[in-house]
Amino acid sequence: SQQGEEDPQALSIQEGENATMNCSYKTSINNLQWYRQNSGRGLVHLILIRSNEREKHSGRLRVTLDTSKKSSSLLITASRAADTASYFCATDARYGGSQGNLIFGKGTKLSVKP
Amino acid sequence: NAGVTQTPKFQVLKTGQSMTLQCAQDMNHEYMSWYRQDPGMGLRLIHYSVGAGITDQGEVPNGYNVSRSTTEDFPLRLLSAAPSQTSVYFCASSYSLAGGVEQFFGPGTRLTVL
């Protein structure tokens, strides 16, 4: 079962605009990560935010985390056509005897038009 | 560094056939995992390993076997393929399971079971 659920499922914007994607999750977490997947490729890690952090920046990316609402958002500023991809949030989970495996949401498909 | 490599890239099987999906990493990572990705879905964890000789089940382990005899390799075996196993399979690795660290993904194997 998926822990994280991204919203919207799909987003289409013009180059230069900002893109905001949201992720909601169900249980308490230690950290939350965002990944990007280009069509037909594996996932690439973008950013990790820990449960005691509220905001984090990396280049054109800004991630926020609200543990009281069990939600996170990913903002991509000044988007480019190369940002076209699917974006997934992932939270840590326990399977078997180990904590730390990732549970992924279904993703937001972002299309940036030139 | 080749990172995480997977072979084959594509495979077509008939129902009941068996095969092994190969995964290797050259980053000396302790943690390795297998995910499957179905259309419009996020990734679901099949099996994972926290070190050579140690494996455990994820969310959807039925129909799959794994073993980890070396740090570098983590093959996924389908003993008797079923159409429900048609999917894209991703292998991932990270240096640790604990503490929230990024995972590195392979390019994926696209499997079709007829």
Q: What is the mean pLDDT of residues B31-56?
A: 92
In this prediction, residue B40 carries a pLDDT of 76
Q: Give the integer Cα–Cα distance in Å for A49 and A67.
A: 11
Residues (pLDDT < 50) of chain A are: none
Are residues B90 and A45, on separate chains, in Cβ contact within 8 Å? no
In this prediction, residue A30 carries a pLDDT of 86
Residue of B nearest to A46 (CA): B102
Residues ≥6 apart with Cβ < 8 Å to B8? B21, B22, B109
Residues ≥6 apart with Cβ < 8 Å to A67? A28, A29, A51
Cα of B17 to nearest chain A Cα, Å:
25
Q: What is the mean pLDDT of residues B77-84?
A: 96
Phi, psi of A83 (to 5 degrees): -80, -10
> Mutate which of B44, B103, B110 to test chain A, going by most A C-beta atoms within 10 A?
B103
In this prediction, residue A112 carries a pLDDT of 98
Residue of A nearest to B90 (CA): A42
